Amino acid sequence: FIDHRLEREQQIIDCLKKGIHGIRAMVPPMYADLPEFMYPAAARSVFAAVAYLVELGRVRCRGTLSIDAEFDLVA
């Protein structure tokens, strides 16, 4: 479980480094094998991981923390 969480966090960081700043835009590359109808559930999972990274101070939210917000890496 912990390894999976760490892998997901790294995927988020990789997306941010590539200029993908929105959760909904992160889902397709992170879940390439997932049927598109499941993207909303995947987005909620990514949002939970991003919120945790925000709490840790590794990621910054532009504006109010929400699934539709944009995010940046903290330098």
Give the model's pLDDT for residue 12: 97
- pLDDT at site 3: 83
Q: How far apart are CA 49 and CA 8, in angstroms?
A: 7
pLDDT of residue 42: 97
Q: Which residues of 46-64 are buried (b: 16+ CB within 10 A; e: fewer)?
A: bbebbbebbeeeebeeeee
Q: What local confidence, expressed as pLDDT, does residue 62 receive?
A: 96
Say what the pLDDT of residue 45 is.
Answer: 95
Reading the chain (75 residues) residue by residue, the pLDDT tens digits are: 788 888 999 999 999 999 999 999 999 999 999 999 999 999 999 999 999 999 999 999 999 999 999 999 998
| Angstrom distances, CA of residue 8 to CA of 31, 36, 52, 63, 64 | 10, 19, 11, 23, 22
Q: Which pair of tokens denotes residue 37?
A: 């109808």
